[in-house]
Amino acid sequence: MSSSSGVSEGVVQRGKLLVHVAENGRSFELNCDECTLVESVQRYLEMLSGIQLNDQLLLYLDMKLEPQQPLSAYKLPLEDREVFLYNKSRMRSNSTPPQPEEIESLESINPDPPLPSSSNDPHPLDDASDPALKVLPLYERQFRYHCQLADAIYQRTLLKLEMCERLSREQRVQEKALEIARGNLDHIYKMILRNYSDFVKRYSHQQRSHSNLLVNFWRDLERLRSVKLIPALQSDNRKCLSDFVKEENLRKMVEDCSNSHRQFESKVEDFKEEFKELKGSTEHLFSSEASINNKVFERTIKEHRQYIDDQKSIMQALSKDISMVKKLMDDCLTSQPSNSLRPHDAVSALGPMYEGHDKNYLPKLQACEGAISNLLMFCKDKKSEMIGFVHGYMQKIAYIQYTIRDVRYKFSVFNEAINRQNDQFEQLKVVRGIGPAYRACLAEIVRRKASMKLYMGMAGQLAEKLASKRESEVRKREEFIKVHSLYIPHDILSLMGLYDTPSVCDVNVAPFDSNLLDLDIPDLDRFAPERNNESEDIIELGDIVGTNKLEVENAKLKAELASVTARLCFSHLEIEFEYFDEGKMDILLKEGAEKTNEALRLKDEYVKQLESVLNDKQLQCGSYEKRIEELERRLSDQYSLEHKIDKDDSFTTGKVGDSKSETSSERDVQGHSGQFSEPMDDALYGYNSLVTKSGVDKTSKILDDNMTDSSGMANPNPNLDSSMREPSRDVNEKDENEETVPDVGMQNILEEKSNQLIELEAKLEAAKVEVATLARDLEISRNLLDESQVNCVHLEKCLHEARKEARTHLCAANSKASDYNKLRGSTLKIRSLFERLKSSVSSADVSSFADSLQSLSQSLTNSVNDGGDDGTAEFRECVHMLAKKVGILARHRAELVDRYTKAEAAQQQLTKELDESKALVNTLYLKHQSEKQANKEKISIGRLELHEIAAFVLNAAGYYTAINRNCSHYYLSPESAALYADSVPHNPTCIVGQIVHIERQTVKPSPPVQTDHNGGSSQSGLISGPTDANPYGLAVGCEFFVVTVAMLPDTAVHTPPPPAAAS
């Protein structure tokens, strides 16, 4: 069967398609190509298998072959691919089962050969004078008959074994067909089971959320009544959040939702029970298997092949024996009688061989055939059983598939019902979401206000940045003009356009969000408290107006906090009402845990970084303190030295001048000393305050003031220099003007003091430079502390968010941990119960198994009475039911053992009676056979029948008439008389033989006899004497019978005594 469809033969892939019929295991091999339609294959299979086209179901692996598709759509035909044919009409519940396996009789195909006879197969040695030679053809015919009979038995046995192998192959095909059907059903069942699992998860989530809505509805409504609106939002009709909805409509809606929820729950429970039955029937079907193990079956057939080998060896022995007999006969025919050829020895050797054939070989051949026949009947029964099993199994598969199809339709209906339930509960969800939505709106107000401030701050920062850029550009241009105006005239520079300056950039932002309510972060909990009423610490971020970095960061943090608050308002509603599968939920929890761990890690790293920075700053401040102490000590030494110098100068001046000059000099020196000592005291006070207040925990403002004081101390160096030079000039002027006598010693002292003052001035200049350097370092440290403070604020914000998120995850983790602990506790209890069950089962033998289970059940019942319900009631109930069932089974076992004992005793009695009956039957059978043989050997004297023994006597007319009581017209046929006459030298007077043929005849009138006309007279009449039509001289119309008999073995032929010799 092939279809070219106009495709060249070199392109079309041709091959053989192997099709197996599932219901009986038959296989068909079809010649086709890849362009052959499946419908053509089905039509051809309809002619071969008798299955109608509409009832055919072709499966290849897990695919169904559609009639309109070509075989190439399924990559067929291929040599190692098999297609299975199922009869859909047999899968219906009311379909009739297929006929059991029928086996044709093999006796008619290979019948036993006919018994040998010398008349059908004559041999020259039949007429041999030697009785020993005359027996050789008889042995040859018997041996040939034995070979023919053995060959017929062997052929029948071989055909029966081949039929067994065929039945085994068909059963293997049926097993494969069941595997294909089971795999197809398993594929569909796994899909429907996965759909059912998703449906149950979705329904459970919806049922839990809807139940929560119904149970907490009035509490939610009462909470809405308790939340008052902001005074700016209140009106005559709206005072609180509950005024957003109409309570009258909600009451009826809650009642309708509750009724719908209960009805839908009952329908889903019914659907769960239906699916539970489907699951149980499917799993039971998967666990059920055929009682025939094909491997054991094939091994049994393989073991029975030994009988074929035994028959072959017997046939070889028979063939060897017949060859030997033929050789003896040929030797007897070709050789001349001599003393060396002794036929009697050969005949005496053939006797035991014949006896071996008759008593050993042929019975063994027949026993082998009987064993194979029994195997064939066993295979036939198992095949019939397999056909019935396949029929029932396929009916169950069809019913389960029909149920799965019905369940699949119900899935769509229930999913639609779930969607309707969600729509119906939508208004109740609105009641639940009013509070979070109101809080989210308030948080959005705060976020927008913070965002506006952030926007304004960024605009201010941009304006400041542009202004600083402009000032830098202006300075660069002024420096350029200052340098190059010395060389280039001003008008030329003006003509070049180098006197132009950058224009001022004004960043103006139009005001927006002017209608927002005046709210801040703390107002959220005051006007819209959270549903769970959890008190949390709110970070109050001050309302800083400005454009510096800290202020912009503060506005940004406030906006982010408000955004997170608005988003968290609906997070619990999304988790409560939206369905998340386990995989997505695990992913979300995993991501949250990873984010939390990353935030905690970053927090720890940042804390360590800040600690290291603070340690460095503390070390640096410690070095500053030591340096300042050293400077203070040096300044104090210089101050004490200068004070001593001032005293010496005043004492010397008093001696040289008058009181007026002395007074003025003292006043000047004191004035200079006071002018110098005042900044020194201020410096000492500033540095002492810096030492006492220079910790890392002080603000930068104190450090700035201290540095200002220290710089103020360093600034009066020019005044200090002039005051220190003033006394020397006054003294010189006085000496010149008043023309006093110079004092050389005083001048030397003054010069030395002047030099010391100059050195002191240099030292003070160096100290001033060093103090300025320290001031710059402190300014840098102040900036670093400012940045650290900003970072600390940001870190506190991050820590707060991480703490909040960690708290959420901690709650979820605690919830899951509690669930896990409950589950673990229940598991441990169940495990302990299983260990008790295992120990009680393993320690008990079969006889005490029921008692052990009963004691375990009683102990579990006592434990639950003592300790209450601990979650293992179902297991205890199962153990109790198991103990009860096992007790019933133990009682049944005891009854069965008792019955078995009684049945065994009865069987022994029946066996004994059967043996006695067999012996009696054998005795009766032997008696019957002997009587039958005796009846056969009796001479019939009544009406003669075939195969009876008859006796004939020679009458006076020379014919043999039968000795008969009723009819005397039985005559021996001439052929039989001649046969007996040939065996004796004289005609026998009495012949006894077995009737083999009876011919019934009637005496007819003889035709008229006319004489010759030449005789002168004519005469006509009936001849009453013996003629050919009436050989026995009977009357016309009389019936007579001509009987043909066979010679009986070991039967003496009665012959008359020989006549006496004439003297």
What pLDDT does 7 receive?
34
Are the C-beta atoms of 1002 and 1038 separated by less than 8 Å? yes
Q: Has residue 340 got a pLDDT over 50? A: no
Q: What pLDDT, on the 0 to 100 scale, is given for residue 499?
A: 87
The whole-angstrom separation of Cα 927 and Cα 770 is 153
Among left, alpha and beta (phi > 0; psi -120 to 50; other), residue 208 is alpha
Nearest to 562 by CA among 462, 453, 434, 431: 453
The first and second tokens of residue 382, run together, are 């198992």
Which tens digits make up the pLDDT trace of 231-258? Answer: 888 888 888 888 888 878 888 888 889 8
- Whether residue 935 is predicted with pLDDT greater than 70 in this model: the reply is no
| DSSP string over 1007-1059 | PP----GGGS--------S--SS-TT-PPTT-EEEEEEEEEPTT-PPB-PPPP
Measure the CA–CA gap between 221 and 240, rounded to whole angstroms: 11
Q: Provide the sign of the torsion angle of the four alpha carbons 558, 562, 563, 567, taken in this order.
A: positive
991 pLDDT higher than 90: no
Would the pLDDT of 911 be above 80?
Answer: yes
pLDDT at residue 142 in the model: 85
User: Comparing 540-549, 745-754, 788-797, which segment has the lowest mean pLDDT?
Assistant: 540-549
DSSP 8-state assignment for residue 360: I
Phi, psi of 890 (to 5 degrees): -65, -40
What gap in Å lies between CA 387 and CA 174, rounded to an integer? 8
Please tell me the predicted confidence (pLDDT) of residue 576: 54
pLDDT digits (tens, 9 = 90+) for 402-438: 899 898 888 889 889 988 888 888 888 888 888 888 8
Q: Contact 524/563 with Cβ under 8 angstroms?
A: no
* Edge-to-edge strand ranges of the sheet holding 82-87: 27-33, 14-21, 82-87, 56-60, 63-64
For residues 905-923, average pLDDT: 87
Q: Which residue has the higher pLDDT, 569 or 865?
A: 569
pTM of this prediction?
A: 0.47
For residue 658, give both structure tokens: 């008058």
Closest to 58 (Cα-Cα) out of 190, 167, 181, 173: 181
Q: Is the pLDDT of residue 984 over 80?
A: no
Pairwise CA distance, residues 727 & 653, whole Å: 10
pLDDT at 876: 77
Dihedral of alpha carbons 268, 274, 276, 278, sign: negative
Above 50 in pLDDT, residue 1009? Answer: no
The helix/strand/coil state of 240 is strand
Of the pLDDT bands very low, low, confident and very high (cuts 50, 70, 90), residue 475 is very high
Between the ranges 474-478, 483-487, 1016-1020, where is the mean pLDDT highest?
A: 474-478
* Angstrom distance (rounded) from CA 450 to CA 104: 100
Residue 813 has pLDDT above 90, yes or no: no
Packing angle between helix 659-692 and helix 700-714, nearest 10 degrees?
A: 160
CB neighbours (10 Å) of residue 499?
A: 12
Sequence-separated (6 or more) residues with CB below 8 Å from residue 13? 33, 34, 72, 77
Q: What is the overall mean pLDDT for the chain?
A: 75
pLDDT of residue 5 exceeding 60, the answer is no
Whether 63 and 53 have beta carbons less than 8 Å apart is answered as no
User: What pLDDT was estimated at residue 941?
Assistant: 72
Q: Are 700 and 726 in contact (CB under 8 A)?
A: no
pLDDT higher than 60, residue 529? yes
Q: pLDDT tier at 668 (50, 70, 90 boundaries)? A: very low
Could you tell me if 532 and 220 are in contact, meaning their C-beta atoms sit under 8 angstroms apart? no
Of the listed ranges 255-259, 734-738, 743-747, 933-937, the least confidently predicted one is: 734-738
Name the more confident of 282 and 1017: 282
Structure-token pair, residue 1056 = 């008359």
526-540, 832-846, 866-880, 899-913, range with greatest mean pLDDT: 899-913
For the chain, percent of residues with pLDDT exceeding 90: 4
Q: What is the mean pLDDT of residues 691-700?
A: 38
- Number of C-beta neighbours around residue 969 at 10 A: 16
Per-residue pLDDT, averaged over 120-148, amounts to: 74
Q: Which residues pair with 961 in a beta bridge?
A: 953, 971
User: Span 671-700, mean pLDDT?
Assistant: 38
SS3 category, 60:
strand
Q: Is 214 exposed, middle or buried (0-12, 13-18, 19+ CB in 10 A)?
A: middle
Cβ pair 1046, 996 in contact under 8 A: yes
Q: Is the pLDDT of residue 870 over 60?
A: no
Judge whether residue 712 has pLDDT over 50.
no
**Residue 128 burial (10 A CB sphere; 0-12, 13-18, 19+):** middle
Task: For residue 768, give the nearest of 712, 723, 726, 685 by alpha carbon.
Answer: 712
- C-beta contacts of 203-209 below 8 A and 24+ residues apart: 203/268, 203/414, 203/418, 205/579, 206/418, 206/421, 206/422, 206/579, 207/261, 207/265, 207/268, 209/576, 209/577
Closest CA to 375 of 305, 314, 291: 305
Query: Looking at the predicted structure, is the pLDDT value of residue 466 above 70?
Result: yes
Integer Cα distance of 990 and 564 in angstroms: 139
Give the HSE-up count for residue 954: Cα atoms under 13 Å, Cβ half-sphere. Answer: 15
Kindly report the length of the chain.
Answer: 1063
Q: Span 916-930, mean pLDDT?
A: 81
Give pLDDT tens digits for 1023-1051. 344 565 677 778 888 888 888 887 776 55
In the chain, the amino acid numbered 569 is C
Going by pLDDT thresholds of 50, 70 and 90, the confidence category of residue 865 is: low
184-236 pLDDT tens trace? 888 889 999 999 988 888 888 888 888 888 888 888 888 888 888 888 888 88
Alpha-carbon separation of residue 383 from 90, 163, 379, 842, 1032 (angstroms): 17, 11, 6, 40, 68
- pLDDT category at 325 given cuts 50, 70, 90 is confident
- At residue 799 the predicted structure's pLDDT band, cuts being 50, 70 and 90, is confident
Looking at the chain, the whole-number percentage of residues with pLDDT higher than 70 is 74
Residue type, 977: A
- Kindly state the average pLDDT of the residues 639-644: 79
Cα-Cα-Cα-Cα torsion 974, 979, 981, 982, nearest 10 degrees, comes to 140
pLDDT at 867 over 60: no
pLDDT digit string, tens, across residues 754-769: 888 888 888 888 888 8
Residue 603: Cβ-neighbour burial (10 angstroms; 0-12, 13-18, 19+): middle
Q: What is the dihedral of CA 142, 147, 149, 154, to 10 degrees?
A: 170
Give 471's pLDDT tier (boundaries 50, 70, 90).
very high
3-state SS class at 933: helix
**Residue 472's pLDDT band (cuts 50, 70, 90):** very high
Q: Are 632 and 694 in contact (CB under 8 A)?
A: no
Please report the pLDDT score of residue 805 as a whole number. 81
Integer-rounded Cα radius of gyration of the chain: 67
